[in-house]
Chain A
Amino acid sequence: MSASSASKPWLRIYVPLTCYFVFMFVPFYWMLLTTFKADHELLTTPNPWWIFHPTFKHVVDLVAGTQYLHWFANTLLVSVGATALSVAVSFLAAYAIVRLRFPGSKTLSAAIFFAYLVPPAILFLPLANVLIALHWFDKLWALIPIYTTFLVPFCTWLLSGFLRTLPRELEEAGRVDGASHFQIMTRIVLPLAKPGLISSTIFCFTLSWNEYLYALVYMFSSANKTITVGLTTELIRGDVFQWGQLMAGALLGTLPVIIIYFFFVEHYVSGMAGALKD
């Protein structure tokens, strides 16, 4: 930065930031408009960027007229479960790969990464064979292990990076004190890995919260619908979309994740930063 431009924060910060935020925010603003617009105003209006006759009809219809709260609870259950399971197994695997360096650990880390390369739009069919054999079909909790397929590889990578930054001396000191490897992991490394764990938790939660395809094809009962599946299956009738309710549902469904980010974004970044340190 040259001295002159550095002295003008509006040029250096606020102008580019405003540009990005306008681009970023427009679709959300549109969702907000749609949520509170009556059906006819959505199609005929002197100014599409404004609401002349706001209505709460769509929000009320969504919450009272559909199973939205139930879908919300399902989504929460699955997301929390999938996140906990993924972070736990990823931490163990990352610890084993990075801190224990057993024979074959490098191959293993590559293999876990390769699990990422399969597109779910195709994987869902052969995967169904496995789920049938395990009697996991139409069981809401089955989504928890299913989601690990796309969560564990990234988490393991992130946590590996993070654990690599912790000094070796930790183990050595622990060994001298007579602690087992397992004890070192749970009592010494785990508390220090908190930022990395927070990062991966947020990452997993976000992706589970928004998952669509698996929840659509592997669940049968309406009792097992998640937010995304519930909204698209109940509010799209042939060529008639309940735009207002769809958008209201999308916004309400995004809120919890946004709140989490608001409180944890600093930890998220520092956790990632930890993973990236040499």
Chain B
Amino acid sequence: MAEAAPALAARTPTLFERLRRAADTPAVLGPLLAAPAVGLLAALVAYPLVFGVWLGLTSATLGNAGHFVGLANFTALFADPTYRAATFYSILYTVGSEALKLSIGLALAMVLNQRFRGYRAARSLMLLPWVAPTVLAVLAWQWLLDPQFSGISWLFERLGLIHHAINFLGTEWNARVSLIVVNVWRGVPYFAIGFMAGLQSIPAELLEAAAIDGAGGWASFRHIIWPLLAPLTTILVCFSSIWTITDFQLIWTMTQGGPVNGTQVFTTLAYQRAIPSGNLGQGAAIAISTLPFMIVLAYFALRAMREK
């Protein structure tokens, strides 16, 4: 290639070559390379998103474009007790499950990051919940949390820990906690694998230096590992929160938002209002009302990425 270059320069370049050379600058090639991704997302996400926001500002119903109503859908929502219930549990569900996934995922990563017998099998098996189709895995959970057929209740009764089967999904608070547990079950592997990667990217010398300084387990974690993992944590939490907030299948299959709206969240309510009930404008408004949360999350995620 080194020999070819001067030979090329000697000839008068053809049009094709000139075009090719023009394309060989970052300002031209960059946008060209990004174009397919941008094109796909613009067509399949941006346009629907804008359309969705517009719907939220109209009185649209299924099959009927409706007309512009300003913020009327939103003011109606704030007066709607069902929407308030959805707001409450959306926040609780997201915050609760993210906190648990984060702590369990980190602990798991610290364990799995070590070399021990069977570590390879453990690393791939621990991903099972993340890999199984949610729609079907949740059916298994439904049995485990059934008021009559729960194997968990059966076991606890045999062990003498309880005298009646646990009503896992039957009271509002039990159901709220149970769904968080299922969400945690599914999401821990994602955090664990992210943190494993994070731990591997911490230079071993740093940890060794800490050990020589006599820093104990907790101290070296607190002062060396954690600060290094913080930006990664932000990113993991942001991605995961977005999935949790936009998640639909898990709650819809387990409880459909019941009992008595105890586990109603934004997506289930938006779906319920927009699709089977036909109130497209209102459903869109509920979906849009999640955007402020999302934008805050996105802001933190982007800032964390920049820091890296």
Any A–B CB pair closer than 8 Å: yes
Q: Which A residues are closer than 8 A to B by beta carbons?
A: 1-2, 5-6, 9, 12-14, 16-17, 20-21, 23-28, 30-31, 34, 42-43, 47-49, 88-90, 92-93, 95-97, 100-105, 108, 110-123, 125-127, 129-130, 145-146, 148-149, 152-154, 156-157, 161, 164, 177-182, 185, 206, 209-210, 212-213, 227-228, 231-232, 241, 243, 246-247, 249-250, 253-254, 257-258, 261-262, 265-266, 268-278
Q: Which residue of B lies closest to A175 (CB)?
A: B24
B196 to chain A: closest CB distance in Å? 5
Q: Which residues of A contact B260 (CB under 8 A)?
A: none
Pairs A-B, 10 closest by C-beta atoms = A102-B30, A272-B197, A250-B136, A126-B48, A119-B246, A93-B37, A1-B217, A178-B5, A273-B197, A122-B287
Q: Which residues of A contact B155 (CB under 8 A)?
A: 49
Within 8 A of A (CB), among B162-205: 185, 188, 193-194, 196-198, 200-201
A240 to chain B: closest CB distance in Å? 14
Q: Which residues of A contact B129 (CB under 8 A)?
A: 24, 27
Inter-chain CA distance A247–B49, complex, in Å, is 36
Interface flag for B69 (CB, 8 Å) = no
Inter-chain CA distance A49–B143, complex, in Å, is 12
Asked if A114 meets B298 with Cβ closer than 8 Å, knowing A265-B124, A268-B193, A276-B198, the reply is yes
| B298 and A117 form a contact (CB under 8 A) | yes
Asked if A258 meets B131 with Cβ closer than 8 Å, knowing A96-B34, A103-B27, A273-B198, the reply is yes
Q: Which residues of A contact B52 (CB under 8 A)?
A: 118, 122-123, 125-126
Render B147-162 as a binary contact track against A, CB cut-off 8 A, 1 for contact. Answer: 0010110110000000
Q: Which residues of A contact B209 (CB under 8 A)?
A: none
| B127 and A119 form a contact (CB under 8 A) | no
Inter-chain CA distance A202–B160, complex, in Å, is 44
Inter-chain CA distance A48–B193, complex, in Å, is 33
Listed by A's residue number, 30 A-B pairs whose Cβ atoms lie within 8 Å are A23-B185, A27-B144, A28-B128, A31-B140, A48-B151, A89-B40, A92-B33, A92-B36, A101-B26, A108-B34, A108-B38, A116-B242, A117-B291, A117-B295, A118-B48, A121-B287, A125-B280, A127-B48, A130-B47, A152-B41, A182-B24, A182-B29, A206-B131, A210-B132, A250-B136, A254-B131, A254-B133, A258-B131, A262-B124, A276-B201
Interface flag for B89 (CB, 8 Å) = no
| B197 and A48 form a contact (CB under 8 A) | no
Q: Which residues of B contact A89 (CB under 8 A)?
A: 36-37, 40
Q: Which B residues are closer than 8 A to A by beta carbons?
A: 1-2, 4-5, 20, 23-34, 36-38, 40-41, 43-49, 51-52, 55, 104, 107-108, 111-112, 114, 116, 120-137, 139-141, 143-144, 149, 151-152, 154-155, 185, 188, 193-194, 196-198, 200-201, 216-217, 232, 235, 239, 242, 245-246, 248-249, 266-267, 270-271, 274-275, 280, 283-284, 287, 290-291, 294-295, 298, 301-302, 305, 308
| B41 and A119 form a contact (CB under 8 A) | no
Inter-chain CA distance A29–B131, complex, in Å, is 15
Q: Which residue of B lies closest to A146 (CB)?
A: B44
Q: Which residues of B contact A96 (CB under 8 A)?
A: 29-34
Q: Which residues of A contact B116 (CB under 8 A)?
A: 9, 13-14
Inter-chain CA distance A191–B152, complex, in Å, is 50
Q: Which residues of A contact B43 (CB under 8 A)?
A: 130
Inter-chain CA distance A223–B127, complex, in Å, is 31
| B284 and A122 form a contact (CB under 8 A) | yes
Inter-chain CA distance A254–B134, complex, in Å, is 11
Contact of B267 among A9, A121, A126, A247 (CB under 8 A): A121
Contact of B44 among A26, A130, A164, A243 (CB under 8 A): A130
| B55 and A126 form a contact (CB under 8 A) | yes
Inter-chain CA distance A182–B132, complex, in Å, is 39
Q: Which residue of B lies closest to A28 (CB)?
A: B128
Q: Which residues of B contact A97 (CB under 8 A)?
A: 30, 34
